[in-house]
A and B are shown apart, each in its own frame.
Chain A
């Protein structure tokens, strides 16, 4: 049996005194896109934070291609082949576009500044500009490009469509589909249900820190009761 790209097993995590993840278990198959859905505050971002190492799980296991990473520093998790496109983009605003990319360069692989510029031509046009002066869509592209510069095997994306104009959302969607087709394993946290379901093979729904549904995108689309109960606002 092939090793999965990312598995979480019974992960418990706390922010201060509040218990935000309860026994979370997830599996991202190699080369697949797993959409992680849920309402605001359900624990989606916390899940990603506990993978990248910003938050140390209190218990449970986080495994990247067979390697245990729970409790490791973010630097070590990145070294293990994980990259994050964080919520709110969090590009380095005082660095130039090019600098944002080169500081994240690591590992041998396809991705370098040239390939990022080919994927996002607008970043090439603005490569000497301070990243903080970019538009929201450009900042999102830079955040994705920066994550790819690490030549990851697992890409975590936290609401890449947030606050973007519809045509930019479509462009970001095309790029995510292409990355997935190239074999990258992706966890996509999204509020935009249509975007998520158009890209995902697998879906997990999280509600108040607990996984309440896992299955294929088709299974979820057919299960109206579950969707209404846990994602009712959509």
Chain B
């Protein structure tokens, strides 16, 4: 019994972590049609920046925010300097963003060394919570709460504000959006900032569970891809649901069939691609 409860809670926490990871990827892929394979690298960079700031005794949430902003600004530069020139050239975008992720990985290795850097959770959130008599790491529930808060805020931004409507107008018909006076290129920079910001923020918030280490980027990127493919490209609800499904599969899979953890993880993705290639919540991109 305890196994199921603890693994279920772990699954939810893992789902929250995966959503923080994949929301930004899904946003950029869905709205800008750019498969940003540097997303794992941006996540790792956020974790390293967070570890460095926390090492200087900075407040955890301030460190998360600052790391997110720094990574977001890097994202804006990437979009303006590299990706804007490759508009519509998907193969070019894939290769360039993959190259950027290698550069980020090597620079992190040079700057931060090869040893893992731990990120301490805020002291007040470290004690375990007791649920039905079982102790559970309190911080994991905080991660879940952060993910849900980010989901709600993103949804409000995109669906309930004029800015969100302008972004969606630019996605619907870029030329027409400019023809009604919307500065589409500036909006797209903003979306890239937001997506990269979420990667950096996720790297810090996930840090106390994952820590920052060389190879974190390569561990995370496939998970983001699996989530987005399962949930549906560019769908925020899809990313949320996909995150929790993959979180559950990952946890129960590695607990019950440790030898087949990756098979269990990628099998649903293969099935979705075969049966419903647009994902659970995806729509056909025009």
Please report A residues at the B interface, Cβ cutoff 8 Å. Answer: 52-54, 73-75, 78-79, 83-84, 86, 90, 92-95, 99-100, 102-106, 146-147, 149-150
Contact = CB atoms under 8 A, between A and B. Distances in A.
A52 B206 CA distance: 48
Interface string B157-186: 000001001101101110111111111000
Which secondary structure dominates chain A's binding surface? loop
A149 B181 CA distance: 11
Contact of B180 (A54, A78, A93, A94): A78
Contacts, number: 63
Given A84-B179, A104-B181, A150-B180, 5 more contacts: A74-B175, A75-B182, A78-B179, A95-B172, A103-B177
A104 to B, nearest CB: 4
Given A86-B176, A92-B172, A92-B176, A79 B165 contact: no
Which secondary structure dominates chain B's binding surface? helix
B183 A92 contact: no
Nearest to B163: A103
B178 A74 contact: yes
Contacts of B166: 103
Contacts of B172: 92-95
Interface of B: 162, 165-166, 168-169, 171-173, 175-183
A225 to B, nearest CB: 37
B173 A54 contact: no
A52 B179 CA distance: 7
Given A54-B175, A92-B176, A79 B169 contact: no
B169 A103 contact: yes
A95 B169 contact: yes
Nearest to B164: A99
Nearest to B184: A75
A75 B183 contact: yes
Given A75-B183, A102-B162, A94 B168 contact: yes
Contacts of A106: 181
B189 to A, nearest CB: 14
A108 to B, nearest CB: 14
24 contacts: A53-B178, A54-B175, A54-B178, A54-B179, A73-B178, A75-B182, A78-B179, A90-B176, A92-B168, A92-B173, A92-B176, A94-B168, A94-B171, A95-B168, A95-B172, A99-B168, A103-B165, A104-B181, A105-B162, A146-B180, A147-B180, A149-B180, A150-B180, A150-B181
A147 B179 CA distance: 9
A79 B178 CA distance: 11
A180 to B, nearest CB: 21
Contacts of B181: 74-75, 78-79, 104, 106, 150
B179 A74 contact: yes
Contacts of A73: 178
| Centre residue among B162, B169, B175, B182 by max chain A CB count within 10 A | B169
Contacts of A52: 179
A103 B173 contact: no
A93 B171 CA distance: 10
Contacts of B177: 92, 103
B165 A95 contact: yes
A99 B160 CA distance: 10
Q: Which 8 A-B pairs have the closest CB atoms?
A: A78-B181, A104-B180, A74-B178, A99-B165, A92-B172, A92-B169, A90-B176, A103-B169
Contacts of A86: 176, 179
